[in-house]
Amino acid sequence: MRARKPPDWLIEERRNGLGHWAAFCLSCGHTLRYFEEGEHELPLECPQCAGPIRARCPACSARFASAFATACEACGEELRPDELLGLRIRRGG
Ligand SMILES: [Zn+2]
Ligand SMILES: [Zn+2]
Protein backbone atom coordinates (compact mmCIF):
# COMPACT_ATOMS: atom_id res chain seq x y z
CA MET A 1 0.00 0.00 0.00
CA ARG A 2 1.32 3.41 -0.94
CA ALA A 3 0.67 6.43 1.18
CA ARG A 4 -1.51 9.02 -0.51
CA LYS A 5 0.98 11.82 -0.10
CA PRO A 6 0.91 14.40 -2.89
CA PRO A 7 3.76 13.86 -5.33
CA ASP A 8 6.56 16.41 -5.41
CA TRP A 9 5.44 17.84 -8.72
CA LEU A 10 2.02 18.62 -7.28
CA ILE A 11 3.54 20.38 -4.30
CA GLU A 12 5.69 22.41 -6.65
CA GLU A 13 2.70 23.30 -8.76
CA ARG A 14 0.81 24.54 -5.72
CA ARG A 15 3.78 26.53 -4.52
CA ASN A 16 3.98 28.14 -7.92
CA GLY A 17 0.24 28.71 -7.81
CA LEU A 18 0.08 31.73 -10.01
CA GLY A 19 -2.90 30.67 -12.04
CA HIS A 20 -5.47 28.04 -12.73
CA TRP A 21 -4.08 27.16 -16.11
CA ALA A 22 -0.72 26.07 -17.34
CA ALA A 23 1.42 26.71 -20.37
CA PHE A 24 4.83 25.37 -21.18
CA CYS A 25 7.73 25.76 -23.54
CA LEU A 26 7.93 23.01 -26.13
CA SER A 27 11.69 23.38 -26.34
CA CYS A 28 12.98 23.45 -22.77
CA GLY A 29 9.92 22.60 -20.68
CA HIS A 30 9.83 25.92 -18.87
CA THR A 31 6.36 26.27 -17.36
CA LEU A 32 4.11 29.25 -16.91
CA ARG A 33 0.84 29.56 -15.07
CA TYR A 34 -1.91 32.01 -15.81
CA PHE A 35 -5.45 32.92 -14.98
CA GLU A 36 -8.07 32.91 -17.67
CA GLU A 37 -8.26 36.69 -17.75
CA GLY A 38 -4.48 36.89 -18.04
CA GLU A 39 -4.12 34.62 -21.03
CA HIS A 40 -3.43 37.53 -23.36
CA GLU A 41 -0.38 38.35 -21.23
CA LEU A 42 1.24 35.00 -21.86
CA PRO A 43 4.44 35.33 -23.88
CA LEU A 44 4.44 33.66 -27.27
CA GLU A 45 8.07 32.78 -26.80
CA CYS A 46 9.75 31.12 -23.87
CA PRO A 47 11.47 33.69 -21.62
CA GLN A 48 14.32 31.23 -21.14
CA CYS A 49 15.04 29.87 -24.59
CA ALA A 50 12.67 31.71 -26.98
CA GLY A 51 11.04 28.42 -27.88
CA PRO A 52 7.32 28.19 -28.65
CA ILE A 53 4.96 28.41 -25.68
CA ARG A 54 1.98 26.07 -25.75
CA ALA A 55 -1.02 27.11 -23.71
CA ARG A 56 -3.75 25.23 -25.59
CA CYS A 57 -4.29 21.83 -27.05
CA PRO A 58 -3.23 22.02 -30.70
CA ALA A 59 -6.19 19.87 -31.73
CA CYS A 60 -9.17 21.20 -29.76
CA SER A 61 -7.82 24.38 -28.11
CA ALA A 62 -8.69 23.14 -24.63
CA ARG A 63 -6.71 24.67 -21.82
CA PHE A 64 -4.81 22.43 -19.46
CA ALA A 65 -4.55 22.83 -15.71
CA SER A 66 -1.36 20.89 -15.14
CA ALA A 67 1.98 22.13 -16.37
CA PHE A 68 3.00 18.48 -16.40
CA ALA A 69 0.24 17.28 -18.68
CA THR A 70 1.44 15.29 -21.65
CA ALA A 71 -1.94 14.71 -23.27
CA CYS A 72 -5.09 16.76 -23.66
CA GLU A 73 -7.77 15.78 -21.16
CA ALA A 74 -10.50 16.72 -23.60
CA CYS A 75 -9.42 14.95 -26.78
CA GLY A 76 -6.31 12.93 -25.90
CA GLU A 77 -4.04 14.76 -28.30
CA GLU A 78 -0.38 14.69 -27.32
CA LEU A 79 0.62 18.04 -25.87
CA ARG A 80 4.33 17.40 -25.93
CA PRO A 81 6.82 14.56 -26.14
CA ASP A 82 7.07 12.44 -23.02
CA GLU A 83 10.84 12.70 -22.85
CA LEU A 84 10.59 16.42 -22.28
CA LEU A 85 8.50 15.74 -19.21
CA GLY A 86 11.31 13.62 -17.83
CA LEU A 87 13.75 16.45 -18.28
CA ARG A 88 11.42 18.90 -16.65
CA ILE A 89 10.93 16.81 -13.54
CA ARG A 90 14.63 16.32 -13.00
CA ARG A 91 15.25 20.04 -13.28
CA GLY A 92 15.36 22.43 -10.35
CA GLY A 93 15.65 21.67 -6.69
ZN1 LIG B 1 12.09 27.31 -23.33
ZN1 LIG C 1 -7.52 18.53 -27.11
Please give the single-letter amino acid code of residue 70. Answer: T
Structural domain count of the chain: 1
Q: How many residues are there in the chain? A: 93
pLDDT digits (tens, 9 = 90+) for 21-71: 999 999 998 999 999 889 999 999 999 999 999 999 999 999 999 988 899
- Residues within 5 Å of ion ligand 1 by Cβ? 25, 27-28, 30, 46, 48-49, 51
Tell me the whole-structure pTM to 2 decimals: 0.68
Is residue 39, in this structure, part of any structural domain at all?
yes
Is residue 30, in this structure, part of any structural domain at all?
yes
**What's the domain range around 60?**
12-90
Is residue 82, in this structure, part of any structural domain at all?
yes
Closest alpha carbon to 84 in 74, 69, 73, 72: 69
Which band of pLDDT confidence, cut at 50, 70 and 90, is reported for residue 81?
confident
Is residue 5, in this structure, part of any structural domain at all?
no
**Which ligand lies nearest the alpha carbon of 72?**
2
Q: How far away, in angstroms, is 29 Cα from ligand 1 center?
A: 6
- Greater model confidence, 82 or 53: 53
